[in-house]
Amino acid sequence: MDADEINLIERAKAGEEQAFNEIFCREQRNIYNLMLQITGDTATADDLTQEALFQAFCHLPDFRFESSFRTWLSKIAINLFRKECRRKSRHVSICLEKIKIPANKDHPERIAIKREMQWCILHSLEHHVPRKYGIAIILRDLQNYSYKDIAEILEWSIGKTKTCIHRGRQILREHFVNGRCKGFGSNYQCYCEGISRI
Amino acid sequence: MNCEETRLLFSDFYDRDLSEEIRALVRQHLVSCAECQDEYENFKKALKILKKFKTRDVPRDYMTILKKRRENKTLRKRNRKLSPP
């Protein structure tokens, strides 16, 4: 963590409004996107982001500078997500079905979503990679966290973190190869198309 | 290094998380084995697909919501202090 960030957090902890706003404001987009990547659902991501920021505010006096503020905030958000998963059945609360994709296969919006692969990436991570591996991959390959930070966020050992990311990546690769994903060639024929509920 | 050992190291190789010595062994195997080379290319492609994920803007300003919740919390605290035991 750099000296500026430490200074900013110290000031926020001391109650300085401007410092508080600055540190939280610059993290809100990142936390929202992390939650969106993990849940695949905008409404759930919205709820979890609100709650994570509030929890971070409540526990700011406990922040000990043992990790970066972003890592600490991500840990809070992921713990909230895990709690939410335990509370509700996974398929009721967190499901890609909730992403509003037009049913008509020729609908321009649906074509655009799939072309950009947003849907495909989230769908693959949600439905074709075991959840714990999926979260670790999101933190590593979408959020660019170090193994050390991921281990801190997920409360795993570095060894477990590495193993889970490796396994998850292998599963993802197999999924894209077997599904003949368009990222691998011009003949797009992802088998998700057949089994998805959209 | 055989095919199985090499494939188990793909993730660490991709992350450059191997010693120079082991990295050289993986590279050496990849050069001599077309099948593993192909596997590694696919592995890289799968991870490149993830890089295409575009982040989104926040749907609303969370700072406004946070401010309201903070004020409510402060208010509740104050009311608790004022109310008789």
CA A120 to mean position of chain CA atoms: 15
- Examine the domain organization and report whether A59 and A114 are in the same domain: no
**Yes or no, beta carbons of B43 and A118 under 8 Å apart:** no
- The pLDDT mean for chain B works out to 88
Which DSSP symbol is given to B55? P
CA A155 to mean position of chain CA atoms: 16
The model's pTM is 0.78
Cβ atoms B33, B39 nearer than 8 A:
no
Residue A186's domain spans which residues? 101-198
Q: What pLDDT is recorded for position A30?
A: 95
Q: What pLDDT is recorded for position A198?
A: 27
Q: Per-residue pLDDT averaged across B51-71, rounded?
A: 86
How far apart are alpha carbons A174 and A178 in whole angstroms? 6
Interval B3-26: pLDDT, tens: 999 999 999 999 998 999 999 999
Closest CA to A191 of A175, A167, A168: A175
Domain final residue, candidates A94, A125, A147: A94
- Among the residues of A60-146, which ranges form H helices? 69-87, 90-93, 108-116, 118-127, 131-137
The reply to whether A191 touches chain B by the CB within 8 Å rule is no
Cα atoms found within 13 Å of the Cα of residue B42, Cβ hemisphere only:
20
Q: What pLDDT is recorded for position A91?
A: 46
- Examine the domain organization and report whether A136 and A196 are in the same domain: yes
Q: Per-residue pLDDT averaged across B41-65, rounded?
A: 85
Nearest chain A Cα distance for residue B28, angstroms: 21
Cβ atoms A197, A97 nearer than 8 A:
yes
Q: What pLDDT is recorded for position A195?
A: 37
- Examine the domain organization and report whether A68 and A127 are in the same domain: no
Nearest chain B Cα distance for residue A67, angstroms: 21
Q: What pLDDT is recorded for position A105?
A: 67
Q: What pLDDT is recorded for position A196?
A: 37
- Examine the domain organization and report whether A175 and A83 are in the same domain: no
Which residues contact residue B76 at a Cβ distance below 8 angstroms, ignoring those fewer than 6 apart?
none
How far apart are alpha carbons B49 and B18 in whole angstroms? 24
Domain final residue, candidates A94, A120, A140: A94
Chain A positions in Cβ-Cβ contact with residue B49 (cut-off 8 Å): 117, 120-121, 176, 181, 183
Q: How many domains would you assign to chain B?
A: 1
Nearest chain B Cα distance for residue A132, angstroms: 17
Q: What pLDDT is recorded for position A121?
A: 75
Residues in chain B: 85
Which pLDDT band holds residue B78 (cuts at 50, 70, 90)?
confident
User: How large a percentage of chain B has pLDDT more than 90?
Assistant: 46
> What CATH number is attached to the domain comprising A195?
1.10.10.10
* Identity of the amino acid at B39: E
- Examine the domain organization and report whether A169 and A125 are in the same domain: yes
How far apart are alpha carbons A137 and A134 in whole angstroms? 5
Interval A146-176: pLDDT, tens: 999 999 999 999 999 999 999 999 988 887 7
- Examine the domain organization and report whether A111 and A181 are in the same domain: yes
- Examine the domain organization and report whether A125 and A198 are in the same domain: yes
Q: What pLDDT is recorded for position A22?
A: 92
As given in the structure block, the two tokens for residue A162 are 């590495």
Chain A positions in Cβ-Cβ contact with residue B43 (cut-off 8 Å): 169-170, 173
Closest partner residue to A177 (CB to CB) among B42, B58, B62 is B42
Q: What pLDDT is recorded for position A194?
A: 36
Q: Per-residue pLDDT averaged across B73-79, rounded?
A: 80
Domain final residue, candidates A71, A94, A117: A94
Which pLDDT band holds residue B55 (cuts at 50, 70, 90)?
confident
Which residues 38-77 on chain B approach chain A with CB closer than 8 angstroms?
42-43, 45-63, 65-66, 69-70, 73
- Examine the domain organization and report whether A198 and A106 are in the same domain: yes
Chain A positions in Cβ-Cβ contact with residue B40 (cut-off 8 Å): none
> What CATH number is attached to the domain comprising A12?
1.10.1740.10
Helices A147-154 & A69-87 angle (0-180, nearest 10)? 40
Q: What pLDDT is recorded for position A46?
A: 94
Helices A118-127 & B34-51 angle (0-180, nearest 10)? 110
- Examine the domain organization and report whether A90 and A109 are in the same domain: no
Q: How many domains would you assign to chain A?
A: 2
CA B52 to each of CA A187, B21, B30: distance values in angstroms, whole numbers, following the listed order:
19, 32, 26
Radius of gyration (Cα) for chain B, nearest Å? 27
Mean pLDDT per 10-residue run, chain A (198 residues)? Answer: 89 90 93 91 92 93 92 96 77 44 67 64 80 92 93 95 93 76 53 40
Which pLDDT band holds residue B85 (cuts at 50, 70, 90)?
low
